[in-house]
């Protein structure tokens, strides 16, 4: 070793070089920046009883289960709404759906559209982008079909997917004859099953970030599946029928659809491994609402399904893998909501929480620490048609009590969830003090939501 070598001098020299080089220099990223990447996987109408890690017996989801084995499985999480658009608006803003301008489903026909994403409200993508993240949305958007509410205008550097609500077919990708498939602003006509396409595009994105790692990234991967129409590839359906020859046909089709989806999620996770990104990426898996009972989906053991304020419509799978932090194979019974994922990511990125957010960071739970108690969980849905009349219906949960309507013309119901988790015994009229307290709290939430327009201003 040369006589001029001095370890202290060379250590100081490295620090000087580190201070004058840009923080985004790839070779120095690990030394200069500890912020993780984020992958948020959201499935559509995916019931609590359609993930084997949650006790399903007839469906096999080994890749989703892998996330639970390598991370933390939450047993008591609910979606922000019992239908699609409102839950997505909440997850991407950190605000209750009506406070984000989306109390109901956004649809192609204006006369049957019940939300409009609040102009100027920063999304999770906006906040992370401004903090130096590369942001991408792949898959289902469902928060606007035109400017200014397209993904690229709401914080995403890259969008490749479907703007609309549901596909008439997973192979044609049309909705009522309209093509809503986009690569950023450009109409595209890709060939293949939508679940295959979205997983392939996600893999391509991860590979591009691995080779151009100048920034941490946020990938919002939102599958259309297993939302109806239930269209599993034939080989997946044949496999399920062979394994369960006595399974009711609708159920068999849904099981095959979910297992195909799980396999494609597995491909995305494999790409994370192969690119070396897995150890520095926080993955959250969840769904936008409970499964649709008429389409053979399962929300067991909870009552009801999609569109219901019973827990079958609200309880969703929720798994977090945070390598080196969240204990592998751990379980957490904290009662939270889907939009908690947004402020969790922001905290991990070192970004300030949105002012007035009702979301709660899950970081303490992920670290094995206690979560704050006494939280209110609020739910709202607005819908049209004769059954709903354009009106809203609400629910609120606090301290194991749940006050709810299951439709705008339905009577109020009250359940004590600790004693009656399956909501079989309506005790409305038997706990007047609790009813008054929850009714008062519910009115406050409704007033707050009423301050935000949910139709486009003329």
Identify the CATH number of the domain in which residue 249 sits. 3.40.720.10
Distance CA 289, CA 79 (A): 5
* pLDDT (mean) for 129-148: 98
pTM summary value: 0.92
91 plus 167 within the same structural domain: yes
Structure tokens at 12: 């100081």
The 10s digit of each residue's pLDDT in 323-382 is 999 999 999 999 999 999 999 999 999 999 998 999 999 999 999 999 999 899 999 999
Residue 432: closest CA among 407, 403, 397, 395: 403
Domain boundary among 373, 392, 416: 373
- Whether residue 216 is found in the same domain as residue 353: yes
Tokens in use for 27? 């070779």
Residue 149 lies in a domain: yes
Confidence of residue 172 (pLDDT cuts 50, 70, 90): very high
Confidence of residue 10 (pLDDT cuts 50, 70, 90): very low
Q: Is residue 50 part of a domain?
A: yes
Summarize pLDDT for 223-247 with one digit per residue, the tens. Answer: 999 999 999 999 999 999 999 999 9
- 229 with 242, same domain: the answer is yes
Q: 344 and 446, same structural domain?
A: no
Same domain, 391 and 334: no
Q: How confident is the model at residue 34 (pLDDT cuts 50, 70, 90)?
A: confident
Based on the fold, state whether residues 439 and 407 are members of the same structural domain.
yes
Sign of CA dihedral 364, 365, 371, 374: positive
Two structure tokens written together for 278: 């897995």
**For residue 13, pLDDT beyond 90:** no
From 345, 373, 401, give the residue that closes a domain: 373
Q: What is the DSSP letter of 185?
A: T
Would you say residue 21 lies in a domain?
A: no
In a domain, residue 444? The reply is yes
**Does 43 score more than 90 pLDDT?**
yes
- Scanning 21-146, the segments in alpha helix (DSSP H) are 29-32, 62-70, 84-93, 124-130
| Domain ranges, residue 355 | 32-373
> Which domain CATH number covers 423?
3.30.1120.10
Q: How is residue 352 annotated by DSSP?
A: P
What is the structure's pLDDT at 213?
Answer: 75
Q: Are residues 321 and 401 in the same domain?
A: no
2 within a domain of the structure (yes/no): no
pLDDT for res 23? 37
Average pLDDT over residues 410-429: 98
Residue 196 maps to a domain: yes
| Interval 288-311 mean pLDDT | 98
**384 and 319, same domain (yes or no):** no
The pLDDT assigned to 33 comes to 54
pLDDT over 50 (residue 8) = no
Write down which residue in 338, 358, 373 finishes a domain: 373
Q: Which of 181, 191, 262 is nearest to 225 (CA)?
A: 262
Are 303 and 402 found together in one domain? no
Mark whether 289 and 396 lie in a shared domain: no
In a domain, 224, yes or no: yes
Render pLDDT for 380-405 as a digit per residue (tens, 0 to 9): 999 999 999 999 999 999 999 999 99
Question: Same domain, yes or no, for 383 and 361?
Answer: no
Q: What's the pLDDT band for 458 if we cut at 50, 70, 90?
A: confident
- Given a cut of 50, whether residue 316 has pLDDT beyond it is yes
Is pLDDT at 69 greater than 90 in this prediction?
yes
Residue-averaged pLDDT of the chain: 93
Q: Contact, 240 vs 233, CB < 8 A?
A: no
Specify whether the CB–CB gap between 84 and 44 falls below 8 A: yes
Please give the tally of structural domains in the chain: 2
Asked if 217 and 72 sit in the same domain, the reply is: yes
* pLDDT over 80 (residue 9): no
Is the pLDDT at 30 greater than 80, yes or no? no
Predicted pLDDT of residue 424: 98
Quick check: is 417 in a domain? Answer: yes
CA dihedral of residues 116, 117, 119, 124 (deg, nearest 10): 180
Strands 217-222 vs 37-43: parallel, antiparallel or unpaired: parallel
């Amino acid at each position: 070793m040369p006589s001029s070598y001095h370890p202290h001098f060379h250590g100081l020299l490295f620090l000087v070089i580190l201070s004058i080089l840009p923080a985004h220099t790839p070779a120095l990223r690990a030394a200069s920046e500890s912020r993780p990447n984020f992958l948020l996987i959201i499935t559509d109408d995916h019931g609590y009883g359609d993930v084997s890690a949650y006790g399903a017996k007839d469906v096999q989801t080994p890749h989703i289960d892998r996330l639970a084995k390598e991370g933390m499985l939450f047993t008591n999480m609910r979606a922000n709404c019992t239908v699609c658009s409102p839950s997505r608006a909440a997850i991407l803003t950190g605000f209750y759906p009506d406070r984000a301008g989306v109390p109901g489903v956004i649809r192609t026909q204006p006369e049957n559209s019940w939300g409009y994403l609040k102009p100027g409200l920063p999304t999770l993508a906006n906040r992370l982008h401004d903090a130096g993240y590369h942001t991408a949305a792949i898959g289902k958007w469902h928060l606007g079909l035109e400017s200014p509410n397209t993904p690229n205008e709401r914080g995403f550097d890259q969008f490749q997917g479907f703007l609309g609500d549901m596909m008439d077919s997973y192979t044609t990708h049309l909705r009522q004859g309209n093509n809503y498939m986009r690569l950023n602003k450009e109409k595209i006509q890709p060939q293949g099953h939508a679940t295959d396409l979205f997983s392939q595009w996600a893999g391509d994105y991860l590979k591009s970030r691995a080779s151009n790692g100048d920034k941490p990234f946020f990938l919002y991967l939102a599958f259309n599946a297993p939302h109806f129409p239930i269209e599993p590839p034939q080989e997946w359906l044949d496999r399920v029928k062979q394994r369960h020859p006595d399974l009711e046909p609708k159920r068999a089709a849904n099981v095959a659809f979910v297992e195909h989806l799980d396999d494609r999620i597995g491909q995305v996770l494999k790409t994370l491994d192969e690119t070396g990104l897995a150890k520095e990426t926080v993955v959250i898996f969840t769904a936008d609402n409970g499964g649709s009972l008429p389409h053979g989906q399962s929300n067991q053991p909870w009552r009801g399904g999609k569109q219901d304020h019973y827990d079958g419509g609200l309880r969703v799978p929720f798994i977090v893998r945070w390598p080196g932090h969240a204990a592998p194979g751990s379980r957490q019974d904290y009662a939270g909501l889907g939009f908690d994922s947004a402020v969790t990511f922001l905290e991990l990125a070192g970004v300030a929480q949105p002012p007035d957010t009702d979301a709660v960071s899950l970081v303490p739970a992920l670290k094995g620490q206690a979560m704050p108690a006494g939280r209110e969980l609020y739910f709202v849905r607005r819908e049209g048609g004769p059954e709903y009349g354009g009106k809203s219906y609400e629910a609120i949960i606090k301290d194991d009590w749940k006050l709810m309507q299951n439709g705008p013309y339905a009577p109020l119901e009250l359940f004590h969830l600790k004693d009656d988790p399956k909501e079989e015994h309506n005790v409305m009229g038997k706990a007047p003090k609790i009813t008054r307290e929850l009714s008062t709290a519910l009115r406050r939430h409704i007033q707050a939501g009423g301050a935000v327009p949910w139709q486009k201003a003329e």
